[in-house]
Structure 1
């Protein structure tokens, strides 16, 4: 059985999230999705619009997701290893960044390969949030 893993905040769930999850599920038998807990989002200097307990339910309801779990830290290799993942999926907006070069090296040590999918242009939770703020004045 091929297990894949991906993680994210999944705030203001949108078609870019669906595209990533659909593409990921097409490459594995079981897709495990880590949903970032509110405390970790805050640590990264952001504030989610939708609380964690609602975001994880939205992700769980997506037909491409087999298991949704809390993401409590940024250790991608530990998460991949814990979930026995052969692949870790991420958007290609991270491709060739210093941060993800490090993640790739760490993941290789636990026999997990990073797969980059095309980033969905024109949509993001940040963009949706900015648009809502402008619309509401």
Structure 2
């Protein structure tokens, strides 16, 4: 029986429970789990820079129980990765739905993991920003005491 190789793709910025669920889901789809972590250069090619640097994001993924291997992901075109690593299954968040259907032509099963509402790195960044903004407003908007005589 063939060893089924699963590849989970992501940025994994501000690591959260949906990242963990997607990786765990990938683990259940095959025998060998490889997680591709997008490099800072790759992420910056299509959105704002990640809050957590690549080396730290890679170390977080390497420290998890489920992945057999964590590797840098330097491109959004996964044709070569699929061929070079003999990938059978590709998993990515459903915010990319449809983007990787071309991998099916290479015999790869493609799964768009449902992230669900609310939890994403972008949402976490916004929440942190909003809380910080309120904190600054509260610290800056205070009465000026009268000078003592």
Runs of 4+ with deviation above 6 angstroms = none
- How far residue 91 of structure 1 moved from its aligned partner, in angstroms, is 2.5
2: CA distance between counterparts of 1:92 and 1:136?
Answer: 29
The answer to whether residue 122 in structure 2 is matched with residue 126 in structure 1 is: yes
Q: 1:18 is matched with which residue?
A: 20
More displaced 10-residue stretch of structure 1: 29-38 or 86-95: 86-95
Q: Deviations over 1:87-115 (max 9, x none)?
A: 001223433x4xx2xx322x133221102
Q: What's the TM-score, normalizing by structure 1?
A: 0.89
Unaligned ranges ≥5, structure 1: none
Q: 1:32 is matched with which residue?
A: 34
Q: What's the TM-score, normalizing by structure 2?
A: 0.82
Q: 1:64 is matched with which residue?
A: 66
2: CA distance between counterparts of 1:61 and 1:120?
Answer: 25
Q: 1:81 is matched with which residue?
A: 83
- How far residue 124 of structure 1 moved from its aligned partner, in angstroms, is 0.2
**Which of these residues, 107, 111, 121, is aligned with residue 107 of structure 2?**
111
RMSD: 1.3
Q: Is the 8 A contact 1:19 1:120 kept in 2?
A: no
Aligned length: 131
1: CA distance between counterparts of 2:21 and 2:66?
Answer: 10
- How far residue 120 of structure 1 moved from its aligned partner, in angstroms, is 3.0
The structure with more radius of gyration: 2
2: CA distance between counterparts of 1:108 and 1:122?
Answer: 29
Secondary structure of the residue that 2:61 maps to in structure 1?
A: helix
Q: Is the 8 A contact 2:10 2:92 kept in 1?
A: no
- How far residue 59 of structure 1 moved from its aligned partner, in angstroms, is 0.8
1: CA distance between counterparts of 2:93 and 2:46?
Answer: 18
